[in-house]
With several copies, the nearest count.
Chain A
Amino acid sequence: MTTTETPLDAAASALSLYEQMWLIRLFEEQALDLFRRGLIRGTVHPSIGQEAIAVGVCSVLRSSDGVLSTYRGHGHCIAKGADVRRMMAELMARRDGYCKGKGGSMHLCDPDIGYLGANGIVGAGMPIAGGVALSMRLQSRDDVAVCFFGDGASNQGVFHETANMAAIWKLPLVLVCENNGYGLSVPTSYACSITDIARRAGGYGFPGWSVDGNDLPAVLEITKTAVARARAGEGPGLIECKTYRWERHSALSRTYHVDPTDATNWSRHDPIERFGKWLVQKGWLDEPIDNQTRQRAAQIVSEAVEFATGSDEAPSLEALSDVYDNVI
């Protein structure tokens, strides 16, 4: 695709983004259900309500671009092109999971498509993404590295260190902050000293953009700009996507929102519904297509569950492998 084209220029590609959003939504609803039924161990951090960011951002990436993500990363993983069956198998701790059951939801990973890993440590993906960007530069690739992280993570020291280092080296790094209003139980308005996290880019001399994170075309557009700059060697950028976390922090958490009516209000901004309307306006979506899309997504998810269920539980002996590569 040329610099000007986007997946929003044609019905087929736009609809495939829509389907991706549904796939994420249904995958996570399914995962929460499996957790409740005791079929997933550990926990699950749903990104329900934030699907436009994952899909919007990843829609302008190549598979050779690198993505670093978080425990709230199913959406990024799916949008980057992962095999949903192997994802589900990993959540269910099966041999055919991406990480053979060693990682689980928090450590999903598929390097072949440039999905370089979710992360259980808030903020830790940022310098790793910086290093990926550095390596791309050293290899003279025009690929970029993208790091997803939360509003809470934007206060971590590594954010600052990474931003500064990426700036002085003008690295092809795009920092995508999903500002969903909370870090676990703590409101962003309490924990973060400024309202627009994008403004922090000013402290490093690169551009920062705040965007409505529930508006897929808007997210996509800004990402295109940031990624194009990065590919062209013009250095890093920071995109803040304002969104909302509908669900509890993770399947293990107590329900908690400072203002419970918030959630209701935000659900009116359902990113999927909004993108659906956009597609309808374009004349690309009608009810039958909509139904088909959802059904296809649902089908993929249920096939994933079937696949995972049919896979053996992670075999005991695997516990001791993959600590080192070399047997010296």
Chain B
Amino acid sequence: MSMTMLSEPNIVPSAKKELTFAQALNESLREAMTRDPSVFLMGEDIGPYGGLFRVTEGLYQEFGSQRVLDTPITEQAIIGFGVGAAMVGSRPIVELQFSDFMALAMDQIVNQAAKARYMSGGQLSVPLIIRTPVGTGLGSQHTQSLEAWLMHVPGLHIAMPATPYDAMGLLRTALELNDPVLFLEHSMLYSTRGEVPVDPYKVPFGEARIVRQGSDVTVIAVSSGVTVAAKVADELAAEQGVSVEVIDPRTLAPFDMATIVASVQKTNRAIVFHQACRTCGIGAEIGQRIMEEAFDYLDAPVTRVAARDVPNPQAKSLEMVVLPSEQDLKRAINSVLYRSPA
């Protein structure tokens, strides 16, 4: 369809529709299953129930119990089955109900899925997509942001969409990759709405999005943090005349360093904003790489606005202390600008 558009450049611009993040994923899944018989879904409560966050809603009814498989509560085997099926021609899309449960399946994710191609000298492919939510509000065992673990593992692709548009476009791309993809979805995003083109489009892996142009400081934010960063940027522009560039890497592996470096060369300052614990989070990697690649441009140290290094508490009054806030981000921006906050 986009081909048609290219050859008919003068027709009306592609129609758009509004979808929630969850609906965007749901549509991509439906589309993939319709197009490609090798795609099937597997996970806990993804069948008749439609998934804890409704991402698979209706798909069981549409594609039946052979292609939308409710599983027992056995994360290691769920991923392991995905690995095996992917090795012999299927394209499994597996859901882990919360990303904290990756801890139960790290052997299959890391020692098997990520390394199968390499260890076999390129003979095996594991085109397995693992979708899993990251969250807040449910205590220490249901809200961890563990993307840094994954980014440390060669052989994995990692997507962290922030909008319905990216969720749909990245999932489409993920389905064309022949290696495992970790698709991290923030639970606070599922009900957020956004426009997506009616015509099929894709978002490539490894291409960051400049969410908002700016000249004073670069903020790199991921997942649910992107909207927060954009909002803070708008407010700071209005309130204090500070011009913040916001960049969403969209995928962590591959990682688009070029866009970030170009931005920092312009702004000379950078902040990484993420929900994961500060120490050894992706902020460390991104900050370090900015130093490596744009050292002479930096007018202030790259700064991290991240969760405190404690498990996530259940009480809201406590979680607010632990998770990075808009205020924290504003403070950090002022700090790298060597300004006292207004």
Q: B66-99, CB under 8 A of A: which get 1 and which 0?
A: 1101111110110111111111111010000000
B84 touches A68 (CB 8 A): yes
Nearest neighbor of A136 in chain B, beta-carbon distance:
B88
A87 near B: Cβ within 8 Å?
Answer: no
Selected from A152, A155, A158, A328, the residue in CB contact (under 8 A) with B205 is A328
CB distance from A43 to the nearest CB of B (A): 7
Q: Identify the stretch in B2-10, B284-292, B317-325 within 8 Å (CB) of chain A at 4 or more residues.
A: B317-325
B179 touches A326 (CB 8 A): yes
**Complexed CA–CA distance, A145 and B88 (Å):** 11
B123 touches A98 (CB 8 A): yes
**Known A41-B315, A101-B315, A161-B77: A184·B308 in contact at CB below 8 Å:** no
**Known A107-B139, A124-B107: A319·B40 in contact at CB below 8 Å:** no
A interface, size bucket: 35 or more
Q: A134-173, CB under 8 A of B: which get 1 and which 0?
A: 1111110000010000001101111001101100110000
B154 near A: Cβ within 8 Å?
Answer: yes
Nearest neighbor of B157 in chain A, beta-carbon distance:
A324
B49 near A: Cβ within 8 Å?
Answer: yes
A107 touches B120 (CB 8 A): yes
B191 near A: Cβ within 8 Å?
Answer: no
**Complexed CA–CA distance, A261 and B220 (Å):** 52
CB distance from B136 to the nearest CB of A (A): 10
Among A168, A169, A328: residue with most chain B CB under 10 A: A328
**Complexed CA–CA distance, A185 and B181 (Å):** 27
CB-CB contacts below 8 Å: A156-213 with B: 156-158, 161-162, 164-165, 168-169, 183-186, 190-192
A323 touches B311 (CB 8 A): yes
- Please name all residues of chain B whose beta carbon is closer than 8 Å to the beta carbon of A116 when the two chains form the complex: 84, 87-88, 124
Selected from A103, A110, A157, A321, the residue in CB contact (under 8 A) with B74 is A157
**Complexed CA–CA distance, A42 and B309 (Å):** 21
Selected from B73, B84, B254, B310, the residue in CB contact (under 8 A) with A128 is B84
- Please name all residues of chain A whose beta carbon is closer than 8 Å to the beta carbon of B163 when the two chains form the complex: none
**Complexed CA–CA distance, A320 and B77 (Å):** 30
Selected from A124, A254, A326, A328, the residue in CB contact (under 8 A) with B112 is A124
CB distance from A238 to the nearest CB of B (A): 16
- Please name all residues of chain B whose beta carbon is closer than 8 Å to the beta carbon of A217 when the two chains form the complex: none
Complex A-B: 15 CB contacts under 8 Å: A68-B84, A93-B316, A101-B315, A120-B142, A124-B80, A127-B81, A128-B108, A130-B81, A164-B72, A191-B71, A192-B72, A319-B313, A319-B317, A320-B310, A325-B178
Given contacts A133-B84, A313-B317, 6 further A-B contacts (CB under 8 A): A109-B123, A120-B140, A127-B76, A127-B79, A127-B83, A136-B88
